[in-house]
A and B are shown apart, each in its own frame.
Chain A
Amino acid sequence: MAPSAFANFITPKSGGSPNADQIHSLYLIILYIAAVVFVIVEGALVYSVYRFRAKKVRTAAQIHGNTRLEISWTIAAAAILVVLTVVTFIKLPSILNPPNSSAPFLESSLNQPSPPNGKKLTICVQGRQYIWRYVYGAGCQHNPFTPHLPYSYQEMVVPEGTTVVLSITSIDVIHSWWVPSLGGKVDAVPGYTTYTWFKAVGPALYHGNCAQLCGRQHAFMTALVDVVSPAAYQAWLTRQKQLIQTANSQVTQLRSYLQRTGNL
């Protein structure tokens, strides 16, 4: 399971994937700066309201302003933001660009985004009211209904230590793919394909929710990412393929039976 959410309520979730960890550390830098600003501003406010009550201070100093002070706090505020900008752009590549897989690679593809050696696992994520469908294998990007590609619903199975690139689409309304421990959210917008990636630490089960209002049962559009060992992944993939094949042949048999007997 993901680490207990209760213990950690002041920072975003992380620990599942390098991009989530990088966002977490960027967040922490902002948090420290923000804490200092918060203490100074609120402290000055509380102190001045307490210290300069009419009870204590009979006459107010008639000050109209101080240009030097105005300029200095404008510059100070701007300087903090310059620092944050620089830090963000330093951190950005590690959030945007996937690293190489540490597990044996699974396939090679030219689609963006890509780790340096270009070797990754592609999974297509299709949003629909109110469930996620996952198609495994790069062929899914040309046509998510390509025959022979294994697929699953709601629960995604991935190998640990492998750079997984998600190609995200929607077939109805806007959804948003989000598994907090595996990085930030990406909207699934009909007519667009969006991408994200993760390189999951496992074995673990990560929990996520659709993050964009997609209708009445939006609350139940959840996602599970089951991170297993590469060997277990291959075994699962083979089994899933067989199950789908069996089900497909059963449907074909049923259809031909129904056609033969004139019921279809």
Chain B
Amino acid sequence: MSVIAEPAARPVAGAVRPVPEVLTHEVARTRTSKRWVEWIVTTDHKKIGIMYLVTTFVFFMLGGVEALLMRVQLAEPSNTLLSGERYNELLTLHGTTMVFLFVVPVMAGFGNYFVPLMIGARDMAFPRLNALSYWLLLAGGIVFYATLFWHPPEAGWWSYPPLSSIQYSPSGGQDAWIFLIHLTGISSLLGAINFYATIVNMRAPGMSWGRLPLFIWTILVYAILLIIALPVVAAAVTMLLTDRHFGTHWFDPTAHGSPILWQHLFWFFGHPEVYIMVLPGFGIISEVIPVFSRKPIFGYKAIAASTAVIAFLATLVWAHHMFASPVPVVVLGFFMLSSFLIGVPTGVKIFNWISTLWRGSIVMTTSLYYAVGMIAIFTVGGITGIFLAVFPVDWQLNDTYFVVAHFHYTIFGGAIFPVLAGIYYWFPKMTGRLLNERLGKVSFWFVFIGFNATFLVQHALGLTGMPRRIYTYQPGLGWSTYNLISTIGAFILAVGILMTVVNIAMNYKTGPLAGPDPWKGNTLEWFVPSPPPVNNFDEIPRVRSVEPMRDIRRQIERNTGVRQKTGGSERFARA
């Protein structure tokens, strides 16, 4: 291995520890001296990845502010801070932003940056298409948020007709929402095709399907699910558009159209969308936990297979969103069973992660904190999902705050905790700097406690009869205390998120140097310098297992006789 023999060539005594670092050369000269022009014209997957991450995080902040405004409105009964109109606008903005402008594209951001690095490729398969994906996403976000200056949409992120029809939502905000779905949809579709082509064709020599990192498995399945689900919602919103402006009656009950048709089409997309959001999160957890447990992932094949099984079942559970709609009981029974079934592979993943921690030597980094927090919280979301899958019970819980609590436990737990784990894990690779671990852990506790304070009581709110989407409520219904706790929790949560933002702002230029492999990682992105050069790899190492970096470290130890230590995580592991 000429690549990794290089460090050994240095004149070393015991004091200098060789690290598996190749000298990689910058091959691209900057075409312009203006840095911002360089960002706009770039086709480098890493720059695009960072633009994705920064943009989506800005939308995350906006969505968070919208959530806080709603929480303040609900903090006390008969509050008059917001009108029903403003509240409906905010809930539409919040839901749409978080789904289409944050969680789905933030995963594309991580995917963009790390798919080529982890599979040993020099860029994505279609770099220009990749840039187009990003700019379409940004365009979608701008079109949508421009409605703030006119009339934001009010019909919710699910936009059920007839409420979203021209009679009941005459403003252009609803059309901007349709436009957003199209723009971000094309963006995600192009991105998905790109991921698929990259992963199928551009893997390092020796990286067979059985040696594909688990994050890459989830991005592959994420791409396939997007390709299955997005055309359906694109068709549905186009039908809504023609209903609104061109005289069709797809969803118009006064002309033999059916509002239920929309529900089927929307949720046929909407439920796979849930797994589109959480599967890459599962992937991040499956990378972070073995690295910090210093143990191979437990049951690699079971985790990879369960990802595929979840994706398959995800296309068969959509009508569990429609248990209170006019649907025959036999259909309800089918969707209860399919929703039960999807719990099995999800449970398998959780058991495997815990087994990976079991008998490990767990290095307590912030990234691991968030990963463990994810398992703790997502488990609750999974269990409440079983309640909701039982359709007679769902008749009591559907459209109440119990559901709000459930899907925040799954999406915030299953996607946003992993995103935070991923930020703390990969930030050193993206910037070459370490984040402050102490501040990171404080932020974790704020997020964890704030999250549970916000959403745990919402189960109780739903069970005591509070429906979702109401902008105010009367005193004396037993809801006031829970709502106040929930609002206070939301602010604690927001402080925790802000701490991470501050941590990033403080350290991206001046934080301690990370070196190529601060955590003793398992996968190939840790082979290249931090941040990686434009071409990623001069020479692509041959992959012999799921953990190529472990093999490389072992080989260097054999070649040099010096035990491998890296500058990073050991400092957090001192007894």
Contact = CB atoms under 8 A, between A and B. Distances in A.
Interface of A: 4-6, 8-13, 20, 22-23, 26-27, 30-31, 34, 37-38, 41-42, 44-46, 48-49, 52-55, 57-66, 69-70, 73-74, 77-78, 81, 84-85, 88-89, 91-92, 95-96, 172-174, 176, 178, 180, 183-187, 189-194, 207-219
Contacts of B168: 172-173, 215
Given A54-B364, A74-B344, A174-B162, A209 B470 contact: yes
Nearest to B351: A73
8 contacts: A26-B390, A49-B372, A78-B344, A85-B337, A185-B399, A190-B259, A191-B254, A193-B326
B473 A219 contact: yes
A219 B372 contact: no
A141 to B, nearest CB: 15
B354 interface: yes
Given A10-B463, A78-B344, A189-B325, A41 B361 contact: no
Q: How many residues of B sit at the interface, in one of the four size bands?
A: 35 or more
B163 A54 contact: no
A173 B336 CA distance: 27
- Count chain B CB atoms within 10 A of each CB in A58, A183, A191 and give the residue with the most: A191
Interface stretch (B152-160, B222-230, B412-420): B152-160
A77 B344 contact: yes
Contacts of A187: 324-326
Contact of A61 (B295, B391, B463): B295
B449 to A, nearest CB: 15
Contacts of A52: 293, 357-362
B357 A49 contact: yes
B343 A210 contact: no
Interface of B: 83-85, 88, 154-156, 160, 162-163, 168, 253-254, 256-260, 293-296, 298-302, 324-326, 329, 333, 336-337, 340-341, 343-344, 347-348, 350-352, 354-355, 357-364, 372, 375-376, 379-380, 383-384, 386-387, 390-400, 460, 463-473, 477-479, 481-482, 573, 575
A183 B395 contact: yes
A183 B393 CA distance: 10
Nearest to B357: A48
A219 B355 contact: no
A200 to B, nearest CB: 16
Contacts of B83: 216
Nearest to A33: B386
Nearest to A129: B168
B294 A38 contact: no
Given A74-B344, A215-B163, A57 B302 contact: no
A41 B355 CA distance: 11
A173 B358 contact: no
Contact of B324 (A37, A185, A218): A185
Nearest to B397: A12
A176 to B, nearest CB: 6
Contacts of B477: 5, 207
A22 B392 CA distance: 9
A216 B256 CA distance: 26
B302 to A, nearest CB: 5
B367 to A, nearest CB: 13
A219 B472 contact: yes
B392 A88 contact: yes
Given A13-B464, A60-B361, A44 B354 contact: yes
B325 A211 contact: no
A38 B343 contact: no
B348 A186 contact: no
Nearest to B383: A34
Contacts of B384: 34
A59 B293 CA distance: 10
B154 A216 contact: yes
A62 B358 CA distance: 11
A250 B84 CA distance: 37
- Count chain B CB atoms within 10 A of each CB in A30, A41, A74 and give the residue with the most: A41
B260 A192 contact: yes
Contacts of B259: 174, 189-191
A219 B471 contact: yes
A44 B352 CA distance: 12
Contacts of B395: 23, 183-186
Contact of A213 (B156, B329, B398): B156
Given A42-B379, A189-B326, 20 more contacts: A10-B460, A26-B392, A41-B351, A41-B354, A45-B376, A48-B357, A49-B362, A53-B361, A65-B300, A66-B298, A77-B343, A85-B336, A88-B392, A176-B324, A183-B396, A184-B395, A189-B260, A192-B260, A209-B465, A215-B84
B459 to A, nearest CB: 8
Nearest to B164: A173
B160 A207 contact: no
Contact of A184 (B155, B257, B324, B343): B324
A53 B364 contact: yes
Contact of B160 (A34, A42, A69, A174): A174
A262 B568 CA distance: 93
A34 B381 CA distance: 11
A191 B300 CA distance: 50
Contacts of A214: 163
A186 B324 contact: yes
A65 B286 CA distance: 14
A60 B359 contact: yes
Contacts of B360: 48, 52, 57, 60-61
A57 B359 contact: yes
B372 A45 contact: yes
Given A60-B295, A95-B392, A189-B260, A81 B343 contact: yes
